[in-house]
Structure 1
Amino acid sequence: MRRLVGLGVAVVAIVAGLVVHLAAPDGAASDIAGDALYVVAIWGGLVLLVPRWPSWATAGVVLVWSVAVELFQLTGLPLRWAAEFAPIVLVLGTSFDPRDLVVYAVTAIAVGGADAVARRALPRRRAGSAAA
């Protein structure tokens, strides 16, 4: 069941991210939305791959990945690669923005917290429905 949730979240976040990228006007709001959706998509993909990891571990790996990608932008390579293959922008971005680090941290904490709450609530529902 958890893998299905991860898949569903990843697909919805990717579609929403593409809509933001392609249709929303450039600006701070669309940049922040895109960054948050990136974190959510990575979280969904990671849950799909390793559904038994604790919520905090999943959120931590997602945060480390996102920060590493943002810091990698300081090398200039993603920008050069984007000139050759434009879709790479969707995965690696182009230029470093310190605000993105804050968005990644806040989103990873929010997704990890929501995941932890949902995981605690799920066994209660199962136990309740088994007794009924």
Structure 2
Amino acid sequence: MSRRWWGFGAAVVTVAAGLGVRAWAGGSFAKYAGDALYTVLVCAVVVMVAPRLRPVVAAGIALGFSWAVELLQIVGIPAPLRPLLGATFNAPDLFWYVVGAVLGWCIALRGRGRTPDVRRSARDEYEVAAAGAAGRPPDGSTLDSDHPRAGMPQLPAE
């Protein structure tokens, strides 16, 4: 599954979790869980928009955005954006944004797809190095007669 779909799925689950927390919990738990989930949602959106980013970078962008919004509340956010971005600065929110960024990073790591050519075993690396040292291509094919190592003795293919 592509990282965009992981990001989309994470965004849907995050919104559902946020609505669930607001519906069934109250007080400071719901408020701070909402802060953390907000950053998770921003991280999921970053992964959807730029799926090639490393998970730590996506989480860092989400954390930076969340902190920027919180710090902008000190000087004041325009009235139309207050329902979405908040209106009052609260220092503990900065900590909960970090919690959300760490959670978003973990989710992005889980959704990180790796292709087989990126993840090689130690044996594969050894075989490639041994083939190169023996003067033959890593795929086991023979060298063309005009190749610089064509006259060198070669190990038998396995």
Q: Does 1:36 align with 2:33?
A: no
Q: Are the equivalent residues in 1 in contact too, given 2:3–2:112 (CA < 8 A)?
A: no
Moved over 6 A (4+): none
TM-score scaled to structure 2, two decimals? Answer: 0.63
Residue number among 92, 95, 112 corresponding to 1:102 in the alignment: 95
Match runs of 1:41-120 below 5 Å:
41-77=41-77, 80-81=79-80, 88-89=82-83, 91-116=84-109, 119=112
- Per-residue deviation at 1:28? 1.2
Q: Is the 8 A contact 2:69 2:85 kept in 1?
A: yes
Work out whether residues 11 and 44 of structure 2, in 8 Å CA contact, stay in contact via their aligned partners in 1: yes
Identity %: 37
Q: Higher helix fraction: Structure 1 or Structure 2?
A: 1
- Unmatched 5+ stretches in structure 1: 83-87, 128-132
Q: Distance in 2 between matches of 1:24 and 1:94?
A: 24
Q: Structure 1 counterpart of 2:18, which letter? A: G
Task: Supply the distance in 2 between the matched residues of 1:2 and 1:71 (Cα, whole angstroms).
Answer: 30
CA deviation after TM superposition for structure 1 residue 67, in Å:
0.2
Instruction: Tell me the number of residue pairs that the alignment of Structure 1 and Structure 2 aligns.
Output: 118
Q: Which amino acid aligns with 1:42?
A: V
State the one-letter code of the partner of 2:19.
Answer: L
Q: Any conservation in 1 of the 2:36–2:98 contact (CA below 8 Å)?
A: no
Q: Which moved more, 1:28-37 or 1:104-113?
A: 104-113
* 1:39-89 per-position Cα deviation (integer Å, ceiling 9, x unaligned): 1111111111000001111011000000001111112335x436xxxxx52
**Structure 2 unpaired stretches of 5+:** 120-158
**Letter in structure 2 aligned against 1:27:** G
Cα distance in structure 1, aligned partners of 2:49 and 2:111: 18
Cα shift readout 1:8-48 (whole Å, capped 9, x = no counterpart): 11111112223333x24541101111011111111111111
Give, as a single letter, the amino acid of the residue that structure 1 aligns with 2:49: L
Larger radius of gyration: 2
How many Å apart are 1:118 and its aligned residue? 5.4
Report the aligned-residue RMSD.
2.7
Following the alignment from structure 1 to structure 2, what is the Cα–Cα distance between the partners of residues 115 and 11?
A: 14
